[in-house]
Amino acid sequence: MAGASLAVTRALSASAGAVSRRRRGSPFLLRGCYSKMAYSVGGDGCGKVTRVLFCGPYFPASTNYTKEYLQDYPFIEVEEVGLEQVPDVIQNYHICVVKNRRIDSEIIAKATQMKIIMQYGVGLEGVDVNAATEHKIKVARIPGSMTGNALSCAEMAIYLTLGVLRKQLKNLFGRKEMDTAVRQRDLGTPTGETIFGKTILILGFGAIGVEIAKRLRPFGVKIIATKRNWSPGTLPCDVDGLVDKKGGPEDMYEFAGEADIVITCLLLTDETVGIVDHKFLSAMKKGSSLVNIARGRLLDYKAVFDNLKSGHLGGLGIDVAWMEPFDPEDPILKLSNVIITPHVAGVTEYSYRTMAKVCTFSP
């Protein structure tokens, strides 16, 4: 998952719900200013404590590193609560870090002391922004491009791509083909494919897409990509040398027919839920591969299952699933041409510690 932390580097305006730039000196962001935030969200500053709620036990490094960097600030309490308990205790907290707990209108209505809700990730689909706005609660996130999250996700996308091409897949007995060869004392099998010479479609060319393209270029691939808006102000760098062919959402089916590998990097919105459907998969080359390191529900489950089973889709590498935590009995996970990792694309020592340091040590 593309992780975030308590640093409010881009906050949504409570009135408009639009992302704004990080304000220098934001009290909970910067070293030496924590007491100001304690005053602002905890009351009049007379011994008041700012209470921060982390929702659920998943992605434990997020909670652990935040506690570590805040251990010298006794007026800020960081607590982790089970997912099912959140609705019963949320009224006791001033800041909520969502992680993978959906914070809907009913929960928000109970958050009577809440000042900030943070989506623990790069998307805001975990928070009912309209309900938060109505209750004068700000909603915030931290962009992955400044924390190492985007590059961590990019590395995982390439890992999964190479894994699919080199047959790091399960056989009929549930073992990875390479593991089976080792166990059987075999050599020179399985026969994999190179990434060299392949055409790769990056579906959604945001911060993660840019980092993927940077790392793919030396492999000798052709990179094609879709993005809603290619104007220079929407990109972190000059991409002319990174992308061989650019298009918009309307070009995704044409591009799918050209690609050997499709990597999805889209945000999950009402428009993109199930966007990788039967129509899109049918447009892909027979035997091509699909990698998803964004959100599970970008993929239409039945369409992906049917195309994997028929062999039209040659391989699937996913770090995210339709329902999380993953169901080990999910029929897709039992197919022999699937690799899955447990939502760890953005979970690296570098990215998580960088996020924690942004929280506590920004100048």
List active site positions. 295, 324, 343
Cβ-based burial of 352 (10 A; exposed 0-12, middle 13-18, buried ≥19): buried
Block residue for tokens 């609705």 = 87
Neighbours of 46 (CB within 10 A): 7
3-state secondary structure 6-22: CCCCEEECCCCCCECCC
Tokens of 131: 């309900």
In angstroms, the CA 136 to CA 317 distance is: 41
In angstroms, the CA 70 to CA 175 distance is: 43
**DSSP string of 331-354, one letter each residue:** GGGGSTTEEE--S-TT--HHHHHH
In angstroms, the CA 360 to CA 341 distance is: 30
